[in-house]
């Protein structure tokens, strides 16, 4: 089937932001209406009135397109500054789990992670994306360091890596309800990352 006459197309080698947003909108709408199975590259191109050549040039696989839709939603989530390490870690998990439970965000990320187990093409892109998110999360430890809350030997990048790994594991094992177990983990991480309190205090 030839693309429709009104086809949006790329303006040269650089992405056209309007077309890019139209494609991500189309993919998101298809996911919301029909779930993961409805999301085919054909369906997205048709709905976005985009050429399949453009779609495949920017997102060579379905997994990459899923990750782009997820990343656009995730970009709206900020890290709360609560004034303490424990407060910031609690806000991080509460907000992230609520984001994942709300609408299609959690399913989207679960599908990306699932596809990454079968499609090695997505792994470098996914790793690079997750590294960026880990760097975002380091701000929690940079703030805590500035407040003098941290163990001197703590490395913010490593602590952030542990925090995001636990979050992802909870999503992929169906545990994003905010229950006693994550509370215990937050307490454990806070104690582990904090400077020991003087026994004379």
Q: Which of residues 71-130 bind its own copies (CB under 8 A)?
A: 110-111, 113-118, 120, 123, 126-127, 130
Which of the stretches 13-21, 22-30, 92-100, 178-186 binds its own copies when contact is defined by CB under 8 A? 178-186
Q: Is 184 among the residues that bind its own copies (CB under 8 A)? A: yes
Q: Is 168 among the residues that bind its own copies (CB under 8 A)? A: yes
Q: Is 148 among the residues that bind its own copies (CB under 8 A)? A: no
How many residues of this chain bind its own copies (CB under 8 A)?
A: 43
Q: Please report how close the Cβ of residue 192 comes to its own copies at its closest, in angstroms.
A: 3
The two tokens of residue 79 are 């890290």
Q: Please report how close the Cβ of residue 134 comes to its own copies at its closest, in angstroms.
A: 11
What does the chain come to in residues? 201
Q: Is 192 among the residues that bind its own copies (CB under 8 A)? A: yes
Q: Which of residues 16-75 bind its own copies (CB under 8 A)?
A: 36
Q: Please report how close the Cβ of residue 14 comes to its own copies at its closest, in angstroms.
A: 30
d(CA 46, CA 31): 14
Q: Is 187 among the residues that bind its own copies (CB under 8 A)? A: yes
Q: Please report how close the Cβ of residue 130 comes to its own copies at its closest, in angstroms.
A: 6
Residue with tokens 């085919």: 40
Q: Is 135 among the residues that bind its own copies (CB under 8 A)? A: no
Give the 3-state DSSP-derived string for the chain, with helices as H, strands as E and coil as C.
Answer: CCCCCCCECCCCCCCCHHHHHHHHHHHHHHHHHHCHHHCCHHHHHHHHCECHHHHHHHCCCHHHHHHHHHHHHHCCCCCCCCCCHHHHHHHHHHHHHHHHHCCCHHHHHHHHHHHHCCCCCHHHHHHHHHHHHHHHHHHHHHHHHHCCCECCCCCHHHHHHHHHHHHHHHHHCCCCCCCHHHHHHHHHHHHHHECCCCCCC
Q: Which residues bind its own copies (CB under 8 A)?
A: 36, 110-111, 113-118, 120, 123, 126-127, 130, 151, 153-155, 157-159, 161-162, 164-166, 168-170, 172-175, 181, 184-185, 187-189, 191-193, 196
């Amino acid at each position: 089937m030839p693309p429709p006459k009104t086809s949006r197309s790329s303006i040269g080698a650089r992405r056209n932001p309007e077309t890019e947003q139209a494609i991500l909108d189309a993919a998101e709408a298809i996911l919301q209406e029909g779930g993961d199975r409805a999301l085919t590259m054909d369906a997205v191109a048709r709905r976005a009135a985009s050429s399949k050549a453009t779609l495949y040039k920017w997102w060579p696989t379905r997994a990459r397109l899923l990750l782009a839709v997820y990343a656009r939603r995730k970009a709206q989530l900020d890290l709360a500054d609560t004034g303490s390490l424990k407060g910031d870690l609690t806000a991080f998990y509460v907000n992230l789990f609520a984001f994942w439970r709300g609408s299609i965000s959690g399913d989207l990320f679960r599908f990306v992670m699932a596809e990454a187990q079968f499609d090695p093409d997505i792994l470098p892109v996914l790793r690079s994306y997750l590294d960026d998110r880990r760097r975002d999360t380091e701000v929690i430890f940079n703030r805590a360091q500035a407040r003098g809350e941290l163990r001197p030997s703590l490395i913010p990048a490593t602590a952030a890596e542990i925090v995001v790994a636990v979050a992802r594991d909870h999503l992929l094992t169906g545990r994003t309800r905010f229950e006693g177990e994550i509370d215990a983990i937050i307490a454990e991480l806070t104690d582990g990352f904090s400077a020991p309190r003087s026994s004379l205090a």
